[in-house]
Structure formats: structure tokens, C-alpha cells
């Protein structure tokens, strides 16, 4: 049987992305992962907008492989009185995507915030810059900027002590940078306001972890019929980082979480986006064991690496150079891929800002050259573990 390669994809933020589709093509990717970021969360994705975006991608000789993401509105996550309105909009958007032949949708169920970092330009030994999550800085944000009630209870004494000591040394500009970094949203979308975050924290405190799990089941059951009829694969992205932060619950952080999600809505459409970076940031997570447990439901993969310290703070390392054993992950991923009729799409998730990109405006984590390097390394690793050229 002829060996089937993984599908090499690239996240693109649309026509306003500093990285062009021509750049993507030169990097070696064949598939595009994108979304209609100009459509406000919760509104229907119009058929004409989807067709327009698809035409732009195909005119460049590429394929729109994965949607990342059709955002799940907060009304659904919290199951507010108007949730059904947004669920119906979501179902219409899925049908419109399917009509255009786009069948894989990545999404997350993180409350309010998407991925969270405290620093966007941590300098590496080689002079490149990486994204960083520091528990000390998060505590400073929580205690002194957000000023969340009873926040101290969520941090150990060592982190509290160091956070208060560091806070005393920071000036207003540094505190403003920290606020911006933590509240930063997806590129081309609005950042979260402090007051919105405070209100959401109170709302989710009433919902709790189990309540949020029930709301995820509610969402999946509400779209199950459409997904099954249209052949759509939903892939839930892990929490990033995979810990409760700022008093917000997390329900997609561990192997147990994935098993719960799959078993509670045990239908083929209900799948996983396997993100080695997000899962690798968990101190107790064994990424390879997680993959092997859920591999039949892995419909999309994000491959990146992290390096953690004793506190659980982490920076995004080289794709082949962090705590995640990418050799073993790639070996397992390609073995599963060989069983599929359609190849599993993966993308080199994030990358260091490096070389000429250091002097350019780039979306944090999504500069061109760092991801090009990551894709090249991962492509070579795939050849190495399979022996197929």
C-alpha cells in the first residue's frame, strides 16, 4: 500500500494577515486553516463570504482544509436564555461550510479568553523571540490589575511572595503591557475588556466546572444532527494553558476530560484537535498517552513544543526541542494516519519570531519564518519515522 502523508496545513488570518498565501506556498504547506474573523461571534457565516474566502485560497493554488474556528458564542457556553438563537446560527454556518465542501471545524470551549500568555517576546538564547506563560506575571495581573476577589487563594505562598515583590518593581508601562498581553484576543478580533472579564468570572463561578461540562454536552447534542447529516467533523481544542486561571473553569485539559467529552456524546462527528503545545504545558499530562487513548477521534493536530519550569510556567520551545517527545508523537500520528482514508491535517502551531521577521509586524506566534522552520522540521521528522520519501 502506498504511504499516505499527513496533510501539511498553515493557519492564515485572511487578507489582512502579514503572511501572504504566496509565503504559505513557499513554506511548503498545501492546506489552509482559516476563519472569517470579520464576522462577529455568534452571527451566521454567509455563504457568499465563505465562497469568496475559498476562491481566494484556491486561486493561490491551495485548499481550505480546516476552519479554525467557528467561535462558540458565550451565550452557548453559559447556556443563557438566548442560547438557542446562537445555536441556530451555528447550525446554519455549518451547513453553509458543508455546502462549500469544508467539513472539518476546530473550536474551543474556553470561557471568555482564548489562549493566554503573559509575554509575547521572550528572548531566546539565539536572539529569536517566543511566547511565554509565567505564573508570577499572571498572579500580578490577577491581584493588581484585575483585582479579582479572593484571588490569593488560587496561588501558593511562593508565587504570591514573588508576584508581590515583582509588582513593586514594575512601572505603569510594564503593567499596561501585561494587561494587553493577557487580554489579547485572536488576531483581527477585539480584545476582552477588564469589566467584561470580571462579569464573566462571576457568571462562570455560578456555573462551575460541572456546569460547563454540561453546557458543552448541550452544545454538541444541539449540533449533532447537522454534523451527522453533513459529514462534518468537530475537533475541540484543549484549554491553553490546561489549568483553571483567573477563577475560570477548564474542562478540556486532561485525558480524563477528553474521555468524558467523547463518551458523553459518543458520535463520530465529536472529535479532538490534538495540540501538543497546550497539552504539553500540563505538568501531569502524558501527551503520547493522551493521543493513544483518543487517536480514533483525532481529526486535526497542532504540533508545537513547550519547556516548563518547576512552577509550571512555560515558554514555547523549538518544535523539536521542548518537553514533548515529538519523535514519539509523530510516530504515533503517522501510524494512525496510515489507517485513514483521508490524511490527518496538521499545522506547525506557532513559531519563534526570528531573522527578518524580528523587524516586521507579525501576529504573536504566527510569524512566517519560525513556522516555516517548524514545518520543515516536522516534515523531515515524518520522513524519518516512516522511511517514506
Residue 144 appears among annotated catalytic residues: no
Q: Are 305 and 317 in contact (CB under 8 A)?
A: yes
**SS3 (DSSP) at 175:** helix
Q: Which helix (H) or strand (E) holds 9?
A: strand 7-11
Strands 233-236 and 104-107, sheet pairing: parallel
Which of 240, 349, 352, 357 does the annotation list as catalytic?
349
**SS3 (DSSP) at 299:** strand
Residue 275 appears among annotated catalytic residues: yes
Q: By C-alpha distance, which of 72, 364, 28, 45 is closest to 235?
A: 72
Strands 345-348 and 7-11, sheet pairing: parallel
How many Å from the N-terminal Cα to the C-terminal Cα in the chain?
14
Which of 106, 154, 240, 302 does the annotation list as catalytic?
302
Largest CA distance in the chain: 64
Which of 90, 350, 352, 357 does the annotation list as catalytic?
350
Which of 243, 275, 299, 315 does the annotation list as catalytic?
275
Give the separation between CA 310 and CA 318, rounded to whole angstroms: 19
Q: Are 210 and 204 in contact (CB under 8 A)?
A: no
Q: By C-alpha distance, which of 348, 349, 358 is closest to 121?
A: 358
Which of 37, 73, 237, 352 does the annotation list as catalytic?
237
Q: What would the grid cell of residue 32 be?
A: 489552509
Give bridge partners of residue 347 from the DSSP assignment.
302
Which of 132, 204, 299, 366 does the annotation list as catalytic?
366
Residue 273 appears among annotated catalytic residues: no
Range list of H helices, the chain: 21-27, 47-59, 74-77, 83-99, 135-140, 157-167, 172-183, 194-230, 255-264, 276-280, 287-294, 326-337, 368-386
Q: Are 124 and 352 in contact (CB under 8 A)?
A: yes
Supply the DSSP string of 303-326, one letter for each residue: E-EEEE-TTS-EEEE-TTSSSS-H
Residue 361 appears among annotated catalytic residues: no
The DSSP symbol for 284 reads T
Q: What would the grid cell of residue 218 be?
A: 448541550
Residues recognised as catalytic: 237, 275, 302, 349-350, 366
Amino acid at each position: 500500500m502506498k504511504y499516505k502523508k499527513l496533510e501539511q496545513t498553515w493557519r492564515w488570518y485572511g487578507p489582512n494577515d502579514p503572511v501572504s498565501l504566496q509565503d504559505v506556498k513557499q513554506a511548503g504547506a498545501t492546506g489552509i486553516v482559516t476563519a472569517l474573523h470579520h464576522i462577529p461571534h455568534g452571527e451566521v457565516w454567509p455563504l457568499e463570504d465563505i465562497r469568496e474566502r475559498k476562491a481566494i485560497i484556491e486561486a493561490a493554488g491551495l485548499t481550505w482544509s480546516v476552519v479554525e474556528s467557528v467561535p462558540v458564542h458565550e451565550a452557548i457556553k453559559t447556556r443563557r436564555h438566548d442560547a438557542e438563537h446562537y445555536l441556530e446560527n451555528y447550525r446554519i454556518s455549518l451547513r453553509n461550510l458543508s455546502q462549500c465542501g469544508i467539513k472539518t471545524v476546530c473550536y474551543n470551549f474556553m470561557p471568555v479568553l482564548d489562549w493566554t500568555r503573559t509575554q509575547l517576546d521572550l528572548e531566546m538564547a539565539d536572539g529569536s523571540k517566543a511566547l511565554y506563560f509565567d505564573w508570577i506575571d499572571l498572579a500580578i495581573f490577577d491581584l493588581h490589575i484585575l483585582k479579582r476577589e479572593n484571588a490569593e487563594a488560587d496561588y501558593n505562598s511562593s508565587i504570591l511572595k514573588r508576584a508581590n515583590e515583582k509588582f513593586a518593581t514594575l512601572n505603569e508601562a510594564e503593567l499596561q503591557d501585561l494587561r494587553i498581553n493577557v487580554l489579547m484576543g485572536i488576531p483581527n478580533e477585539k480584545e476582552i475588556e477588564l469589566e467584561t472579564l470580571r462579569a464573566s468570572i462571576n457568571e462562570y463561578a455560578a456555573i462551575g466546572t460541572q456546569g460547563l461540562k454540561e453546557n458543552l454536552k448541550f452544545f454538541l447534542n444541539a449540533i449533532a444532527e447537522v454534523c451527522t447529516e453533513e459529514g462534518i467533523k468537530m475537533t475541540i481544542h484543549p484549554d491553553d494553558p490546561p489549568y483553571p486561571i483567573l477563577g475560570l473553569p477548564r474542562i478540556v485539559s486532561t485525558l480524563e476530560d477528553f474521555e468524558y467529552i467523547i463518551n458523553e456524546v459518543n458520535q463520530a462527528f465529536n472529535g479532538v484537535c490534538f495540540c501538543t503545545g497546550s497539552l504539553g504545558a500540563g505538568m501531569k499530562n502524558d501527551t503520547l498517552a493522551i493521543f493513544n487513548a483518543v487517536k480514533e477521534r483525532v481529526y486535526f493536530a497542532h504540533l508545537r513544543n513547550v519547556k516548563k519550569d518547576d512552577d509550571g510556567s512555560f515558554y514555547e520551545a523549538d518544535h523539536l526541542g521542548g518537553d514533548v517527545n515529538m519523535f514519539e508523537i509523530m510516530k504515533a500520528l503517522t501510524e494512525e494516519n496510515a489507517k485513514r482514508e483521508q490524511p490527518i491535517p496538521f499545522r506547525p502551531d506557532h513559531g519563534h519570531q526570528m531573522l527578518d521577521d524580528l523587524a516586521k509586524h507579525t501576529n504573536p506566534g504566527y510569524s512566517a519564518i519560525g513556522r516555516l522552520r517548524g514545518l520543515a522540521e516536522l516534515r523531515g521528522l515524518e520522513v524519518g519515522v516512516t522511511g517514506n520519501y
